[in-house]
Every structure is written in structure tokens, then in C-alpha cells.
Amino acid sequence: EAAVTQSPRNKVAVTGGKVTLSCNQTNNHNNMYWYRQDTGHGLRLIHYSYGAGSTEKGDIPDGYKASRPSQENFSLILELATPSQTSVYFCASGDTGSSAETLYFGSGTRLTVL
């Protein structure tokens, strides 16, 4: 089974500060995703990537940047964190080849912006 590891598990940041959330996967999946989960909204797609060097905007990319420096690593960057970005963030990876890929999720990062 795919292993997706997120760090940190919990993060408290101050408004205006820079936050970097990291994700590492060890099963050589091409596709990686960042979602945020908020009550009443489910999982909303922020950014995704097809492979090293690629990043694509999801449905709610404003205020977020992404970086995919290698097949294994996909980071989410909040340059100027705001309280509205307080949420639980999930990274996921998936096999390439068709739309019928299974997503494997990390354990999540709980971010609080004060």
C-alpha cells in the first residue's frame, strides 16, 4: 500500500508568517494532490501535480503555492498566512494512467493561524 507522509502533524502560525507543509510518498506515484478539509465543505482541491517540476491549480489556489521538486516530494506554501487558512490539510498521491486512480492520503496536518 502507498505510503504518504506529511509533516508537521500540527502547526501553529502567526498571521502574515510563511508556512510550508511537506509531503513525501514512497510508491513512485506520478500524481500528487493537496486538499484542505473544513466542516461543511468536505475536501477542496488546492493544487496538484503530474510529476516532478509540474504544479497545477485546483479549485481554491488563491493564497497558496505548491512545489514538486522531485517525484517523492510535494510541498504546499503559504507565503502570508491568514486565519482563514486555519484548516486540516491532506496530501494524497495516485497512480497515473486513467481517471480511475485511487488516492492514498497522508495523515493530515492541522494548521492553526492566529
Partner 1 sequence: QQQVRQSPQSLTVWEGETAILNCSYEDSTFDYFPWYWQFPRESPALLIAIRPVSNKKEDGRFTIFFNKREKKLSLHITDSQPGDSATYFCAASAGTGGYKVVFGSGTRLLVSP
- Residues binding partner 1 (CB under 8 A): 31, 33, 35, 40-45, 48, 50, 56, 58-59, 90, 94, 96, 98-103, 105-108
- Mind giving me the DSSP string for 29-68? -SEEEEEEEETTTEEEEEEEESSTT--EE-S--TT-EEE-
Nearer to partner 1, 92 or 113 (CB): 92
For partner 1, give the closer residue by CB, 19 or 106. 106
φ and ψ of 83, to 5 deg: -55, -30
Least Å distance, CB 99 to partner 1, is 4
